[in-house]
Amino acid sequence: MIIEYDGTNYCGWQIQKNSRTIQAEITKAIEEMTGQKTTLYGASRTDSGVHALGQTANFRTQSKLEPARIQRGLNGILDRDIVISQAVEVPDKFNARYDAKDKVYIYTMLNGPVRTALQRHFCYYNPQPASVSLMQKAARYLEGRHDFRAFASKAGSYKDSVRTIYDIKVTGKRLAGNSRMIYFKFRGDGFLYNMVRNIVGTLLLTGYKKIAPNAVKDILKSKNRAKAGPNVPAKGLCLVKVEY
């Protein structure tokens, strides 16, 4: 299934006791439709407040219902802030998480003198002027295959913190009144816990001219989370696509 959601009112993807999560809501809806217990495997365990346009997930069922019928049924049951955009049958061995090849995330930030009302749940607002060209330079040091431990919030818990980022695109879009939306688009084979948001927080330090673009290279090499920038707010992050 391809899934779109507004993460504002959820404690993230993963099922947790006493919390409203995306995985729990969809699992309940599937069980309601099929009458059978199931496990839902998601490609990415997005954090509380993070959005998705193209999360993917799979489950096994003995139900004889067509995928399109299941999709319509789930969209009828689920709250309006979650939608199953597509549902197809996959081979029995398929696992949405382990078979994922690339993931694309976009982090959105409003940079300008005034906050936004219409997009307030979907971007991080910071008035401090950030240089897009400096952040573009800094981003170059992070592309490629590296140990990204310095950008993982739970660095110690990874046996393998080597990942490949194919591409980081930082772009600015002018708005009225001397404001800009800044988009940070990441495409990689996988991301450590909070890695995208920690990288954006670090790139912003270069954009604010607090550190030089090439300092990002040393932060990466240090493998030390304490050297990197802060974790930017979840609401600016969106999982756009998972590729197989």
Rounded to the nearest angstrom, the gap between the alpha carbon of residue 164 and the centroid of all alpha carbons in its chain is 16
The Cα–Cα gap between 37 and 51 comes to 26
Q: Is 48 in the site for its own copies (CB under 8 A)?
A: no
Q: Is 226 in the site for its own copies (CB under 8 A)?
A: no
Say what angle helices 195-207 and 215-222 make with each other, to 10 degrees.
Answer: 150
Q: Is 82 in the site for its own copies (CB under 8 A)?
A: yes
Minimum CB separation from its own copies for residue 210, in Å?
25
Side chain identity, residue 12: G
At CA 235, angle to CA 232 and CA 59, rounded to 5? 115
At CA 199, angle to CA 230 and CA 204, rounded to 5? 65
Q: Is 25 in the site for its own copies (CB under 8 A)?
A: no
Residues of span 164-223 touching its own copies by CB under 8 A: 176-177
At CA 141, angle to CA 140 and CA 144, rounded to 5? 85
Q: Is 84 in the site for its own copies (CB under 8 A)?
A: yes
Q: Is 69 in the site for its own copies (CB under 8 A)?
A: no
The residue range among 25-33, 50-58, 97-105, 209-217 that interacts with its own copies, by the rule CB under 8 A, is: 50-58
Give catalytic status of residue 160 as yes or no: no
Binding residue for its own copies, selected from 14, 34, 116, 164, defined by CB under 8 A: 116
Give the number of residues in contact with its own copies, rule: CB under 8 A: 25
| Region for residue 67 given its phi and psi (left: phi exceeds 0; alpha: psi -120 to 50; beta: otherwise) | alpha
Minimum CB separation from its own copies for residue 152, in Å?
27
Minimum CB separation from its own copies for residue 112, in Å?
10
The residue range among 76-84, 88-96, 158-166, 207-215 that interacts with its own copies, by the rule CB under 8 A, is: 76-84
Closest CA to 188 of 177, 180, 199, 203: 199
Q: Is 51 in the site for its own copies (CB under 8 A)?
A: yes
Say how many Å lie between the first and final Cα of the chain, rounded.
13
Between 185 and 227, whose beta carbon lies closer to its own copies? 185
